[in-house]
Chain A
Amino acid sequence: MTTSAPPAAGPAPITGTIVAPRTSRWPIFGWFAFLFLIASQVTAIVISPPDRDMGHLEKILYVHVPAAWMTMLAPLTVLVFGLRYLWKRREQDDLLAAAAAEVATTFAGLTLVLGMIWARPTWGVWWTWDARLTSTLVLFLILAGYLALRALIDDPDRRAQWSAVVGILGAINVPIVYMSVRWWRTIHQIQSSPSTVDPAYVIGLRLNAFAFLFLMIYFIRRRYEAALMERAAEHAARAAALGSRQ
């Protein structure tokens, strides 16, 4: 059969194209975040005396603890933007949630490794099954599952919708896991690991907490921008395809 040109009246205009993001202000924020981090680390190291038990090893806490706090914050981002996606079905929300999940995985890994490095000289073992460390490990595995799911689905709609659901349920599960493990250890009357936060260290921790927060926001933003640029390229192809008259 011969095909001829499409009808004279063109197709309905496509709304909601994704444009590549402007990146003017964020690099400045990135520089600020890195410099703030360096300043915070130096300040913390300088102003705090060596711990009587741990010596200088305790400085690792200035990275480990803020990383742990961010590890809790990032799944919250996945949860919130997953819910937004299910509500509005805008793919930007899905891409942001995915970026947050990737960054969360990195921070979780960092928390775990530093925790192990700190534990070994302190208690003589690489791993303790305490509530915080264990639930961080489970969170890491939940995030690994989330990222694996995304990698295995090709259809973008299905990927976004399923990721949102898996991310939301995973985020809800984290506090439940933490509670279960804590209860588990209490029942078996294991001493909980000492959470020594001498007042002298609080300033250093707070400073670094903010530094890590800024850094995390910056990482998520950059990862999100990269994802947006990919989608922008695909959408340019779409505009070409739908607007073409041949």
Chain B
Amino acid sequence: MSLRRDWRRARAIAWKDLTAERRSKAGFNAVTSLAITILVLFGFALGPDTRAVRDAAPGVIWLAALFAGVLAFNRSYQSELDGGALEQLVLYPGSRKAIYAGKLLANFVFVALMLVVIIVAGIILFQVVIPSEWPSLLAIILFGTIGLVTLGTFYAAMSSRSRAREVLLPLLLFPMLVPVLLAAMEATKALLGGNLMSDAGAWARLLIVFDVVFLAATFLAFEAVIEV
């Protein structure tokens, strides 16, 4: 019974975060524009040779999502920090895991939408050929996003409440994301490369394992982070 209560709370938090973000008029557009700017800069760094740029596209797209995502993750705690609402949030009865689940959901929606835009832009800018197995590609993007959002939401719970948050979040987050990013990038590369389907499958399975491990670990650890 209390699981349903917690789920209700998580949903309420996710709704609250997304509504507040939608009304802020700044967040999504700014962060997504930044991501596209990053793509363009990578284009300058790697190009203008089409081949080099197309080969690098999978990695670049994920990196753009990562750099822009860092801003989104810190922002996701902003509405609580501005008015002192975090104290109130922590005081509501019930499990703090519900708070984490709610924030995860909201961040997932945000980053997933952002990724859609980034990928479309990436396909255009880097002349990526969409493979016939694009549903598998979607699945990989889904699982990569889950891993990215899990660790990002978790570490942002600390960085957003510290000094030098813009530096602290990447510093803590990026080394932890190495396995997820590696798996996501490699799976994406394999699928877009066309001839390494089995490798893509292996990386995708690894990615799912990583997601499960990090989700479980962060869920267990969230209480210790939010309560102090």
Please tell me whether chains A and B touch each other in their complex, using a CB distance cut-off of 8 A: yes
A–B Cβ pairs within 8 angstroms, 6 of them: A145-B175, A168-B221, A169-B218, A172-B213, A172-B217, A176-B179
A 191-216 contacts with B by CB, 8 A: none
Within 8 A of B (CB), among A161-176: 161-162, 164-166, 168-170, 172-173, 176
Could you tell me if B175 and A187 are in contact, using CB atoms closer than 8 angstroms? no
A138 at the interface (CB under 8 A from B): yes
Interface string of A175-188 (1 = CB under 8 A from B): 01101110110010
Q: Which residues of A contact B199 (CB under 8 A)?
A: 187
B210 interfacial by beta-carbon distance below 8 Å: yes
Interface size class of B (residues with CB under 8 A): 20 to 34
A184 to B178 alpha-carbon distance, docked (Å): 12
B163 pairs with A180, CB closer than 8 A:
no
| Distance, CA A94 to CA B213, complexed state (A) | 25
| Closest Cβ neighbor of B154 among chain A residues | A169
Name the residue on A nearest B181 (C-beta). Answer: A180
Known contacts A148-B167, A180-B179, A180-B183; can you find 20 more A-B pairs with CB under 8 A?
Answer: A138-B178, A142-B175, A142-B176, A144-B171, A145-B172, A148-B171, A149-B162, A152-B163, A161-B224, A162-B158, A162-B224, A162-B228, A173-B176, A176-B179, A176-B210, A180-B178, A180-B182, A181-B182, A187-B186, A187-B199
B residues within 8 Å of A by Cβ? 158, 162-164, 167-168, 171-172, 174-176, 178-179, 182-183, 186, 199, 202-203, 206, 210, 213, 217-218, 221, 224-225, 228
Q: Is A153's CB within 8 Å of the partner chain B?
A: yes
User: Does A141 lie at the interface of the complex (its beta carbon under 8 Å from any beta carbon of B)?
Assistant: yes
- A-B CB pair tally, cutoff 8 Å: 76
Q: Looking at the assembled complex, report how far the CB atom of A67 sits from the nearest CB atom of chain B, in whole angstroms.
A: 20
With A and B bound together, what is the CA distance between A162 and B203 in angstroms? 32
A157 near B228 with CB under 8 A, answer yes
Cβ–Cβ contact A152 & B168, under 8 A: yes
Q: Looking across the interface, which residue of chain B has its beta carbon closest to that of A179?
A: B179
Q: Pick the contact of B224 from A165, A173, A184 — CB < 8 Å?
A: A165
CB neighbours of B217 from chain A (8 A): 169, 172
Shortest C-beta distance, B90 to chain A (Å), equals 13
Chain B's nearest CB lies how many Å from the CB of A168? 7
Residues of A within 8 A of B167 (CB): 148
Are the CB atoms of A141 and B225 closer together than 8 Å?
Answer: no
Q: Does A18 sit within 8 A of B, measured CB to CB?
A: no
A172 and B213 CA atoms in complex are apart in Å by 10
Shortest distance from the beta carbon of A76 to any chain B beta carbon, whole Å:
17
CB neighbours of B174 from chain A (8 A): 141
Contact in complex: A158, B178 (CB < 8 Å):
no
Asked whether A138 lies within 8 Å of B175 as measured between CB atoms, the reply is yes
Contact with B along A129-157 (1 / 0, CB 8 A): 00000000010011011001100110001
**In the complex, what residues of A have CB within 8 A of residue B172's CB?**
145, 148-149, 166
Distance, CA A169 to CA B186, complexed state (A) = 24
> Roughly how many angstroms separate A152 CA and B129 CA in the complex, as a whole number?
46
